[in-house]
Each structure stands twice: as C-alpha cells, then as structure tokens.
Amino acid sequence: MGLHHTAIPRTIEAHGHDTAADRRAPAVGEAAGTWDTGARRVVNALTIDVEEYFCYAYPGDTLSREEWAALESRAVPHTLETLKILEQHGIRATFFVLGWVVDREPHLLREIRDRGHEIGSHGFGHQLVYTQTPERFRDDVKRSIDVITDVIGEMPVGYRAPSFSINAECMWALDILAELGFVYDASIYPTRMRENGAAGLRTEPHRLPSGMWEFPAATLKIGGLRLPFGGGGYLRLYPFLITRWATHRINAGGRPAMVYLHPWELDPSPPVRPRSRLRRFQHTVNLAKTRSRLLHLCAEFDFAPIGDVLKQIEAETEQSIEVAAAQ
C-alpha cells in the first residue's frame, strides 16, 4: 500500500522519546468537557522556524546579505528561550533552521538537536521560492542541507519554505525536495493569500506521487472562505480564542493541526522592522502576546514533531487497512 515504516525519519527512531500522546498534560477545555471529542486526543505538529528578526523576505522589502551580516544576532537567546518553554512542558517540536543562521551560530543547531528536537531545513538564504528558478532553488536548499549535515552529521528530515512560498506557480519545488531526500515538505498554505498559498489543494497531511509527504499549514473553512490560522502573524493577529477554537475544530475531526512560530516573535521590540506600513504591521502586530499564547497552546494541546505525527498517521492507516482486509 506504499506505507512503509522505513520512510519514518531515522532521527525519531534513534531518539526513542515518548510521544506527546503519552504525556497527557491536563487541558483547560478538556477539564470543562467543552472540547471532548469522545475519541483519542489528536497530537498536533509544532514547528519553529529559526531565523533572525531581520531575515524577512517581502517582495521589494528585504535587507541585503551585507546588511544582515552587520546586524546584531538575537536568534540565540530567543531560540534558547523557546527551547526552555518546550522543555518545561515536555514538548518536542520540529525546528526548521535557516542555513545562514547555522553558518553563523553552529552551536545553536547542536543545542536544538541535543535537546531531542527534530531538525528540518528552512533553506539557506531565505529567498521566496516563487522568485527563484528551479536551479537556484535546488542550490539554496542543497547548501542548507550541507551546512546542517556538517554540524550534526545528519540530513534534515523535512523542509519549510521561507514564508510558505511554494505556491501554484512553483510546484516543481516539491519534486526537487523529494530528489534531495526529504521525508516531508511543510511549505504550503492550501488557500489563496496574496502571493503565497495555493487554493484547491488537499488540506490534510498526504503522500505526494514522489512518495514524499506534504504537511499543509492549518486552514479552516468558514462559510465559503478557507482561512489560514495556527502560526506566525495569524497566531498574533487573531484573538487567541479563534486559534484555540479552530485547532479544536480540526482535532474534533480527528485531524492534526500545525502550529508554527519564530523565536524572534518572542521579542516585543525588534531593532529592525520592514519599511512598508502593511509589512511592518504583519511583522510586529501583538509581538508582546506571542509568549503567553505559546504557553497556552503548550498547556492545552498535545504536540509533537511533524515526523512523529506522520508516523502516527502511517500506523493508523496500516491498522485500518488491516481491519478492512480482515472483514
């Protein structure tokens, strides 16, 4: 059936940590009986994109590599703070690390890896995928694989595009990622959002024809609209009750949601901000609320790295195939 446990990321097998489902942290909503689906608790995917506060890539509003090099690094303290929060809640996550940051702070990648988290690639130079040729994209991702492999001796298992920039115009990127050996991609918002996103695609984790998994970002259909939620600017912009409600809605259907954030979002006053008013708003709205929202999510939901969530989906799919065959 094309479902083989050999496809499970080897780093997860090597660690042998408990899954989030084993820990069963008490949940606010569950205690009140509000969100009890009457079934197992769904384990959601928690993902952290490790980059600097100045690595934003908005069309026409980016800084040059020379400007990056001259700016103060804050990725280390904010990533360490993120690690501490996750450790306090007994949560492991997937960290998509930017190759440029790994090049500058290799010890940070070792620290993340040594604490048992799953390592993915966020590319090297944080360029939007739809602005690149297939050749430039391959070179950028390959460079990130090389720098990560040099530091930890292991290939990153998954890939997250800068700003979820794999859209309908650059689906070729998925074949390149499969060729480079990734187990999964987590770069697509299956809804139309300005330059990013692609409407009409599957919204649940699924296998692509190449055999690589696609784990789309969280969306929820409300009325005729499919709305993005669950991370970054959406986590900060929407009232937290919306994020909480939407995550429970997805989980009530037996499906995992994907939450993402950046360590720099824990910094309420970044020294550099985008120039345009709209981008500055997207980048900085409610930064002071990120920490408390992350803490609430960690206390209320079960989370695991993407590789663990996919492993659980594979196991359940195999089980249902066996049950169907036995009937």
Between strands 43-50 and 258-261, the pairing is: parallel
Only one of the segments 160-168, 210-218, 241-249, 271-279 lies at the binding site for Zn ion (rule: CB under 5 A); that segment is: 160-168
Compute the least distance from the CB of residue 203 to Zn ion, in Å. Answer: 22
Nearest residue (CB) to Zn ion, 164 versus 184: 164
Q: List the one residue from 99, 162, 190, 228 that touches Zn ion (CB under 5 A).
A: 162
305 sits near Zn ion (criterion: CB under 5 A)? no
Q: How far apart are CA 320 and CA 325, in angstroms?
A: 8
Q: How far apart are CA 305 and CA 310, in angstroms?
A: 9
What one-character DSSP code corresponds to residue 268? S
Count the residues of the shown chain that bind Zn ion, applying the rule CB under 5 A.
3
Q: Tell me phi and psi for residue 302, to 5 degrees.
A: -90, 135
Compute the least distance from the CB of residue 308 to Zn ion, in Å. Answer: 22
CA-to-CA separations, 133 to 109, 160, 221, in angstroms, rounded: 28, 17, 33
Nearest residue (CB) to Zn ion, 51 versus 308: 51
Nearest residue (CB) to Zn ion, 162 versus 274: 162
140 sits near Zn ion (criterion: CB under 5 A)? no
Only one of the segments 47-55, 204-212, 279-287, 296-304 lies at the binding site for Zn ion (rule: CB under 5 A); that segment is: 47-55
Contact set for Zn ion, span 221-260 (CB under 5 A): none
Nearest residue (CB) to Zn ion, 49 versus 308: 49
Nearest residue (CB) to Zn ion, 75 versus 246: 75
Nearest residue (CB) to Zn ion, 51 versus 300: 51
Residue ranges of E strands in the chain: 43-50, 57-58, 61-62, 94-97, 118-121, 158-159, 184-185, 206-207, 213-214, 219-222, 225-228, 258-261, 302-304
Q: Judge whether 43 and 303 are in contact, CB under 8 Å.
A: yes
125 sits near Zn ion (criterion: CB under 5 A)? no
At 87 the three-state DSSP class reads helix
Compute the least distance from the CB of residue 278 to Zn ion, in Å. Answer: 18
205 sits near Zn ion (criterion: CB under 5 A)? no
Q: Tell me phi and psi for residue 95, to 5 degrees.
A: -105, 115
Compute the least distance from the CB of residue 262 to Zn ion, in Å. Answer: 7
Nearest residue (CB) to Zn ion, 51 versus 267: 51
Nearest residue (CB) to Zn ion, 35 versus 159: 159
Q: Judge whether 50 and 122 are in contact, CB under 8 Å.
A: yes
Compute the least distance from the CB of residue 122 to Zn ion, in Å. Answer: 6
Only one of the segments 158-166, 202-210, 250-258, 294-302 lies at the binding site for Zn ion (rule: CB under 5 A); that segment is: 158-166
Q: Could you give the dihedral angle defined by the CA atoms of residues 305, 309, 314 and 316, in that order, rounded to the nearest 10 degrees?
A: 150
Compute the least distance from the CB of residue 241 to Zn ion, in Å. Answer: 27
Only one of the segments 10-18, 43-51, 271-279, 311-319 lies at the binding site for Zn ion (rule: CB under 5 A); that segment is: 43-51
49 sits near Zn ion (criterion: CB under 5 A)? yes
Q: Tell me phi and psi for residue 92, to 5 degrees.
A: -105, 150
DSSP secondary structure string for all residues of 302-313: EEE-HHHHHHHH
What one-character DSSP code corresponds to residue 19? P
What one-character DSSP code corresponds to residue 43? E
Which residues of the chain form contacts with Zn ion (CB under 5 A)?
49, 51, 162
